[in-house]
Amino acid sequence: MYTHLVYVHPPNLGNVFCNFGKSICMDNFSRVAVLGSGSWATALVKMLSENLPMINWYVRSEYTLEHIRLHGNNPKYVTSIELQPSRLALSTDINQVVDTADYIIVAIPSAFVESELKKLDVPLHEKIFFSAVKGIVPESLLILGEHLTFHYGVPQKNTGVIAGPCHAEEVAMERLSYLTVGAGRKKHARTMAQYLQTHYIKTSLSKDVHGIEWAAVLKNIYAIAAGVAHGLGYGDNFQAVLVSNAIREMRRFIRKNVDTRKHNIMRSAYLGDLLVTAYSVFSRNRMFGNMIGKGYTVKSAMMEMTMVAEGYYATQSAFLINSERGQARIPIIAAMYDILYNEQPAKKVFQNLTSKLD
């Protein structure tokens, strides 16, 4: 294990970064940490590196750490993303990465979040956490912000979310993308939005922290459904009906299980993220669903994929949460639960689902 942060200081950064972009002065910048080394974590590190002189980065694998340090790219995920090792404080010790950071972005797959958080023994109550998980913590059936508050004592005002229609593969190509940043305190959201904004990333702020975080979870379930439909041979007409029903189902779920406030589901963090995840060739959840529709078992589909399909885990959590709390009408989530967890034939389940959509 590495017992120290591995990095090389770039020279004379103060003056350079005071003149970058929207005049963000980095003489007194907050240190940002990224937890996770998957595709989305790697994309976030690339964005942050455009603005910050140093980013703490927790990666579990010593091999991955050394490869990034020597070659400037992640050997396992989105290898085309060019990184700047001189601006990365890399470590396989999560406590060192978090201890020296002010803002922490968690970009670990939800199924593994708790096992990583349990390693932390440094004080967290003054740290500011942003979720980039897009999944539910299975041990608690909570989104990350709530999990941190209830189980780790992080004040709700110190939690936030980064969401929106933004695939890591397009970040690698520097194609224009949009992110929404929400936080308990506006100043925290504004700071993170500034750190993430580049010539190819536009950011906006939102107060709807929990709604956006739940939307990022649920859209993965609907993307699997879109993939299953494609794998079964349904056409574009049905896909349009499925997705239009999905956004309404998302609103019902959030109102019943999260809060009763009105949520602007037409914003890019809701509808935009759902559309790109349901239709994009880069969507791992759509890909996973497509394999299920073509006859793969859940286990075989997972073995074929190199990345985690968050929607698989989210399906069970969302179904159980709705059963215990709000009991909203969720025919699409219920259908996916039957296919993924009750091992019902996808063709038969979708035949039944078609009568429940309009």
Q: Right CATH number for 213-356 from 1.25.60.10, 1.20.1050.10, 1.10.1040.10, 1.10.8.50?
A: 1.10.1040.10
Average pLDDT of 58-77?
94
Q: Which of 106, 327, 318, 133 is nearest to 216 (CA)?
A: 133
Asked whether the predicted pLDDT for residue 130 surpasses 80, the reply is yes
Asked if 155 contacts 125 with a C-beta cutoff of 8 angstroms, the reply is yes
Q: Which residues contact 259 (CB under 8 A, 6 or more apart)?
A: 210, 211
Expressed in angstroms, the distance from the first to the final Cα of the chain is 55
* pLDDT tens, residue by residue, 161-204: 999 999 999 999 999 999 999 999 999 999 999 999 999 999 99
- Give the pLDDT confidence score for residue 28 in this predicted structure: 54
- Give the pLDDT confidence score for residue 53 in this predicted structure: 92
Highest mean pLDDT among 15-19, 64-68, 299-303: 64-68
Average pLDDT of 33-43?
95
- Between 310 and 107, name the one with better pLDDT: 107
Q: Which residues contact 37 (CB under 8 A, 6 or more apart)?
A: 57, 58, 59, 60, 61, 64, 74, 76, 77
- Give the pLDDT confidence score for residue 206 in this predicted structure: 92
- Between 105 and 208, name the one with better pLDDT: 105
State the greatest distance between any 2 C-alpha atoms of the chain, in Å, as a whole number: 65
Q: Which of 166, 289, 282, 143 is nearest to 218 (CA)?
A: 143
Other Cβ atoms within 10 Å of 1 Cβ, number? 6
- Give the pLDDT confidence score for residue 20 in this predicted structure: 35
Asked whether the predicted pLDDT for residue 7 surpasses 80, the reply is no
Average pLDDT of 135-151?
92
- Give the pLDDT confidence score for residue 30 in this predicted structure: 79
Q: Which of 236, 338, 230 is nearest to 286 (CA)?
A: 230
- Give the pLDDT confidence score for residue 263 in this predicted structure: 77
Asked if 254 contacts 214 with a C-beta cutoff of 8 angstroms, the reply is yes
Lowest mean pLDDT among 39-43, 293-297, 310-314: 310-314
Asked if 197 contacts 49 with a C-beta cutoff of 8 angstroms, the reply is no
- Give the pLDDT confidence score for residue 264 in this predicted structure: 81
The string over 18-33, giving b where at least 16 C-beta atoms fall within 10 Å of a residue's C-beta and e elsewhere, is eeeeeebebeebebbb
Task: Name the residue type at position 75.
Answer: P
- Between 326 and 104, name the one with better pLDDT: 104
Q: Which of 92, 81, 97 is nearest to 129 (CA)?
A: 97
Average pLDDT of 340-348?
96
Integer Cα distance of 154 and 148 in angstroms: 6
- Give the pLDDT confidence score for residue 284 in this predicted structure: 87
Asked whether the predicted pLDDT for residue 10 surpasses 70, the reply is no
Domain residue spans of the chain:
13-207, 213-356
Q: Which fold has domain 13-207?
A: Rossmann fold (3.40.50)
Integer Cα distance of 71 and 57 in angstroms: 16
- How does residue 21 score in pLDDT terms, banded at 50, 70 and 90? very low
- Tell me whether the CATH fold assigned to 13-207 matches the one assigned to 213-356: no
Q: Which residues contact 292 (CB under 8 A, 6 or more apart)?
A: 224, 227, 228, 231, 298, 301, 339, 340, 346
- How does residue 22 score in pLDDT terms, banded at 50, 70 and 90? very low
pTM: 0.87
Q: Which of 200, 201, 178, 33 is nearest to 107 (CA)?
A: 33
Lowest mean pLDDT among 105-119, 248-262, 310-324: 248-262
